[in-house]
Each structure stands twice: as structure tokens, then as C-alpha cells.
Structure 1
């Protein structure tokens, strides 16, 4: 299947896995190891990557340094903790080898603005509803930071938990035991490099990565990001593989609009009646592709204004 003149894409859906109200369907595409890309986690572990505050710290910008001889990939919604406050990456970015660059981020810890430690890779990415709302705000040129803060507030309300600093990661920690039970029920298949997520019988979204090695690093994070927003409705539902294929095929057939990129990556935005998302490519290969179920327009407060400096403390 052709996405655009440079990118082709064929996929295989593997056997569905079910645990209570959650279903995952592994995705496998043609194995791709031609491109050598390092993740932020591995780069930090090997001493080849660093995330730091700008010389004059601001909420919505960080500096990422890549000392590796290969590009470094940052994934949309990926969280780093430490610094003056925890942040999430606003979009998937490919940082050039032996370079450093400023990247756009959003705060995920509104109640702290004081140095804590060097940044390190978080165990989590932004929860599904936050990523979906953030991407929706971005593509409609609406405020992003307040959208993220509002979504994290909602997350705390729904889970009846309040972090002293409104830290997203602490909401995850509060539910870690429940999440671990689910994670153990879902295995990674050979050569799997993507996943479709179904909650209470509803297709919520999918994620696809360059290869299975990168996917393995994000497998648990992706599942947790959906679990934290998933309430068990105790309903009976069936798994319709044809419907899943239809969602994927509609996404592939969408009109992809090229957008401004931050690094080496090329960014394509798409939308159809079922959902919306972004595809990121490099050297004519898909490096990351995320899709979310369509969002209702009235869930956004248009009176909000974006914040670029210091959060409430």
C-alpha cells in the first residue's frame, strides 16, 4: 500500500490478546534494520544522550544533546523527569548525530519549579487522553500547555488521586500494581513493531515503530498509557478483525499533509471520520506512526491561553 510517493506500507495483524476489558492486536510489518537509530533511554544509559534545561529555564523548551554517531529518536508523549519540573516531548523528533538542539515540550508537573536532579528517562509516556488532546490542540493551532495541564487534572480527578505537585508520573505510580497485572497478560510477539488497542470493544488507537527493537522499549509504556484512562464497564464485546483492518486501511488511505519538522524527521498529519494522527518518516521509512480515535470538538475550552513561561507553584 502506498502512503505517498516515497513511502509504502504493508502490515500483518497477529492473534488478538485479551485481558478483562482490554484487547491488543500486535502489528507486524516488513522488518527494518537498515536505519540505525538510538532511543533516548539507551542514549542516556550509554552516556551518549543528555536532556537539560535551557540556560534561562522555560516551561516549554528543553535542550537534547546527542553524542551518538546515529540519530536519536524522541517519541511523542515521552516523559523526562527531573530538572526544574517533569516534561513530555510534544512530537516525535529525530536529533542529528553529534549535535544538540532545542525541543518543544510540555510540563507534566505543574506544582514544582525548582531544580530536583538531572533529567532521566521516565517509566511512562503521557496517558492516552493527554496525548490525544495535545495532538488535537496542536493540529488546530490551539493552546497545548494548558490542554496538557487540564488533562492531567482530569486524570487525577477520575482516579481520585492528587499528587502534591500535580505530577503525571505519580498518578501512574499510584496505579502501578493494577497496571502490572495487565502488563503480564500481554506478550510481545516475534518481530512485532506495533499494536492496536481496543478498550471495552472500542478501537482507541494504534502505534507503529520503525522496528521491533524500538517497539519493545515502548510496549509497556504504550499499554499503561491506555490502561490509566480505561474504566472497566463490565460489558460483553466481540473482537471484529475486519473493523480493525478497516481503521488501518482508512488511515493509510487518508490525505497526508506535510508539516514543519523539528529535526531530521519528516512529519505528516492526517485525519478521517474515524480518527487522526501523525506519521513520522526518515530516509523514506516510517519511524513512528500514532493514531487516535476522533475527539469531540466540545471537549476543548477555547478561552484558554497557552503558557510559555513559569507554571503555578
Structure 2
């Protein structure tokens, strides 16, 4: 993969599909080794090396993160943090430098609360698949991404006949947690796995690739739950076109990436075509996170569907 005249490692092996009812999870494994030492939010909080607080003058869309470690802290797009005045999600994957305090961009995932609850802690969840992609689509379409997130969380509640007193995304997850556990049993992490591609009702929805297997392991269940939150069982009989999937992954190497402003040490690149959009983040010529989403249905026209390439619909 060539970005800004630099070759960045992207050599992904597509492993044997795991299937349960209408959903398939395709484990992805990198063929390259990694040399960076990165600290995750979970590990940083457990070790007491990371603090997350409201800013001195609290605002909905900004919080303050302190990294007291000697290695960069990685925060993942859609990662949820609970507590303080409101629950939030991280708006973009970023690296916070060692021994640094930084204000970061976030979005609210609990519309009905603005009062201090307790200190921030990491959530069991990341934003659901649809919320992440409508957030991204709204931002690129110059729409209000915070409103798009609230609307998406409200849709989750309507679709599942559930109402949180504070419209909290995490409570929608809690409501469906037990019913999703059977799926998770079928989607076991495999040795060396660093990502996953998800198919629902015969259609590819997206994929996530992380810097290394150790980081992916922390997010494996969260990523799968994020897709399950929007899962509707419609078609349990479908064919998995492995050649199409491999073609899709190969095509990811030649996507047209545009560099964007970054919040931290990372380099951020966006891509978008008629069918998909997403982000790639790199640091020291290594891919640290790559997320790929099919576009929301309302953004794909009939003409676009007719031209959809192999690998999108299986």
C-alpha cells in the first residue's frame, strides 16, 4: 500500500469463515511482524497510567486524557467511556504521546444526562456499526454528526422496543447482551488474528484491522457486538464467496486515500467510493488501525447498486 509516496505494510491473510445463523465472521491475519509498543486504554486504566476527565470548563464534545506512560496511548474510533457528566465515544483513532495531557474530540452517547455521575471508566462496548458509519458519513456530508449519533441510538431503541431513561447507548447493549452471547461463542478468536470482516444476511458490512493481535484481542468481542447490535436475521442461507472477499481485501490496497488533520501522533487518511468509506491510521510507517464500512443504505442509489463490484454481495 502506497500512501504519500511511502510503502506501508498491508498483507492480510483471509482465514476460514465462522458462521452462526445469518452472520459470518471472517478472521483476518497479518503476514507482517510489528515493532511498535502501544498502550491501550484498558491497560492504561488498569495500571493507573491513564486518566480521563472532563475539561476544566466541561463541554459535550471535548474531554481531557492524560497519558503518564512512557509509550504512546492508542484510543480507538468509537471507543466508549462511561461516567462523568455524560457517556462519550472517541471520534477518531488517535495516539497520545507519552507524558502528555491532551483534549480530544468526542461525541455524546447518553443524550438524557448532563450531571456528574462518577469518574470516567472504559465501557464494555464501542459504538455500534451503524452509529460509527453514520457518524462518519454525516461528518463528510457536512451534517451534524452529533445529531446523527443521537438519531442512530434512538433508532436502536425503537428497533428493539427498548427505552433507556437517558437514551444511553450502553443500556441498549446491556438489553441485548445475553441474546448476543450465542453468536459470540461461534466467533472465537484464532491464533494471530488481527482483524475481522463481517457478513450479515449474505452482505459484507465492513471490516476492522488492528495494529497487532494483542491489541485486536482486547477489541474482538466489542467489534463483533457492535455489528450484532444492528443485526436482523433475514437470510440464514447464503454462500460465502471467498474469492470475492480476497478480491475486496486486495482492492483495499489500492483505495484512494486522502490525508486529513490528526489530533495526536498518528497520521489519518480517509477513503470513500460509491459503496464504502472508512479511515486508515498510521504511525512510523505502520498501519495501526484500518476501519472499512459499507455506506448507509440511504446514500447508495439504484445506479450505484447496479455497478457494485464482486465481493460486496455474496
C-alpha deviation, 1:248, in angstroms = 1.9
Identify unmatched segments of 5+ residues in structure 1: 300-313
Asked if the contact 1:32–1:210 (Cα under 8 Å) also holds between the matched residues in 2, the reply is: no
Q: Which stretch has the larger CA shift, 241-250 or 84-93?
A: 241-250
Asked if the contact 1:81–1:120 (Cα under 8 Å) also holds between the matched residues in 2, the reply is: yes
Does the residue aligned with 2:193 lie in a helix, a strand or coil?
coil
**Do residues 69 (structure 1) and 67 (structure 2) align?**
no
Aligned twin of 1:78: 79
C-alpha deviation, 1:141, in angstroms = 2.8
TM-score (norm 2): 0.92
C-alpha deviation, 1:31, in angstroms = 4.3
Change (3 A) 1:45 1:31: farther
Asked if the contact 2:198–2:207 (Cα under 8 Å) also holds between the matched residues in 1, the reply is: yes
Aligned twin of 1:108: 109
Aligned twin of 1:153: 154
Aligned twin of 2:5: 5
C-alpha deviation, 1:10, in angstroms = 1.0
> C-alpha separation between the residues in 2 aligned to 1:73 and 1:103?
12
> C-alpha separation between the residues in 2 aligned to 1:99 and 1:124?
26
Aligned twin of 2:57: 56
Residue-by-residue CA offset, 1:162-205 (whole Å, 9 max, x unaligned)? 00000000000000101111111111111110110000110000
> C-alpha separation between the residues in 1 aligned to 2:195 and 2:33?
13
Aligned twin of 2:134: 133
Aligned twin of 2:204: 203
C-alpha deviation, 1:32, in angstroms = 3.3
Asked if the contact 1:27–1:195 (Cα under 8 Å) also holds between the matched residues in 2, the reply is: yes
> C-alpha separation between the residues in 2 aligned to 1:252 and 1:40?
29
Asked if the contact 1:3–1:252 (Cα under 8 Å) also holds between the matched residues in 2, the reply is: no
Aligned twin of 2:312: none
C-alpha deviation, 1:106, in angstroms = 0.4
User: What is the aligned length?
Assistant: 299
Residue-by-residue CA offset, 1:4-50 (whole Å, 9 max, x unaligned)? 53213111101111111110111111343310000011100000001
Does the residue aligned with 2:171 lie in a helix, a strand or coil?
helix
> C-alpha separation between the residues in 2 aligned to 1:32 and 1:67?
27
TM-score (norm 1): 0.93
Question: How large is the Cα RMSD of the aligned pairs?
Answer: 1.3
**Do residues 257 (structure 1) and 263 (structure 2) align?**
no
Q: What aligned pairs does 1:81-230 form with structure 2 within 5 A after superposition?
A: 81-230=82-231
Change (3 A) 1:107 1:199: same
Does the residue aligned with 2:142 lie in a helix, a strand or coil?
coil
Asked if the contact 2:130–2:296 (Cα under 8 Å) also holds between the matched residues in 1, the reply is: no
